[in-house]
């Protein structure tokens, strides 16, 4: 075998290093633009939707929204959740549904990284139709405890036909708070998990 001259060896090392960096960059880009790796793949063809008139309400780029957004692609999944784009509107690349089974065994937890302690209005994104649960359980963990709600996902959300306010709560900074959707007690209907928004509320306003 030919021994590499020290200069050749140096060039080879740089080439390998550049190759590794390029590969990592490409991988990061792919991860940022793909569905949750733990989700069951989408079964619908791209562009196949049941409500075309709601396509304009899709928020493709959540970075343009105010506040802190946690999309389902960054959430922690328990149980099998299926990725879908079939029912607009949604945030980002799509949303998850619970496949209408495994009731009581599945959850999606959205944990924001909040830059400041204070009050935040929490909004939940979900598409809506008669196939959705009328009583999807949602828990909000905030600085003063937990609040448990039931959300009717058949009702059209008030904000942009996509976002439903869950109330305003006090949060510490960092990653102590979270919002969790489960499918307990929702037999016969789909539970949707799409995105959660945390909107800072000025301290001069009374908090609920």
Nearest approach, Cβ of residue 15 and Ca ion (Å): 39
Nearest approach, Cβ of residue 83 and Ca ion (Å): 9
Residues 6+ apart with CB under 8 A from 119: 168, 169, 170, 171, 200, 201, 203, 205, 207
From the centroid of its chain, how far is CA 136?
16
Nearest approach, Cβ of residue 125 and Ca ion (Å): 7
Q: In this complex, which beta carbon is closest to Ca ion, that of residue 88 or of residue 119?
A: 88
Q: In this complex, which beta carbon is closest to Ca ion, that of residue 74 or of residue 78?
A: 74
CA distance readout (Å), 143 to 68, 76, 119, 200, 205: 17, 20, 10, 14, 18
Q: In this complex, which beta carbon is closest to Ca ion, that of residue 71 or of residue 98?
A: 71
3-class DSSP assignment, residue 12: helix
Nearest approach, Cβ of residue 86 and Ca ion (Å): 13
- Report the C-alpha gap between 43 and 58 in whole angstroms: 19
Q: In this complex, which beta carbon is closest to Ca ion, that of residue 85 or of residue 182?
A: 85
Residues 6+ apart with CB under 8 A from 135: 150, 151, 152, 185, 186
Q: In this complex, which beta carbon is closest to Ca ion, that of residue 91 or of residue 201?
A: 91
**What are the tokens at 207?**
């908090």
Nearest approach, Cβ of residue 115 and Ca ion (Å): 22
Which parts of this chain interact with Ca ion (CB under 5 A)? 71-72, 91-92, 95, 194-195
């Amino acid at each position: 075998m030919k021994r590499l001259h020290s200069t050749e060896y140096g060039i080879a090392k740089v080439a390998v290093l550049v190759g590794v960096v390029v590969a990592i960059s490409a991988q990061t880009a792919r991860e940022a633009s793909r569905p949750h790796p733990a989700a069951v793949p989408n079964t619908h063809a791209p562009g196949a939707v049941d409500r075309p008139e709601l396509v304009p309400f899709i928020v493709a780029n959540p970075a343009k929204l105010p506040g802190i957004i946690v999309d389902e692609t960054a959430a922690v999944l328990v149980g099998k959740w299926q990725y879908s784009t079939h029912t607009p509107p949604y945030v980002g690349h799509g949303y998850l549904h619970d496949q209408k089974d495994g009731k009581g065994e599945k959850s999606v937890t959205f944990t924001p990284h909040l830059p400041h302690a204070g009050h935040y209005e929490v909004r939940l994104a979900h598409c809506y139709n008669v196939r959705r649960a009328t009583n999807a359980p949602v828990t909000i963990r905030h600085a003063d405890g937990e609040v448990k709600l039931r959300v009717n996902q058949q009702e059209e959300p008030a904000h942009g036909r996509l976002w439903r306010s869950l109330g305003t709560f006090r949060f510490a900074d960092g990653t102590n708070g979270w919002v969790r959707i489960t499918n307990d007690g929702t037999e016969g209907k789909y539970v949707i998990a799409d995105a959660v928004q945390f909107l800072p509320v000025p301290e001069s306003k009374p908090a609920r």
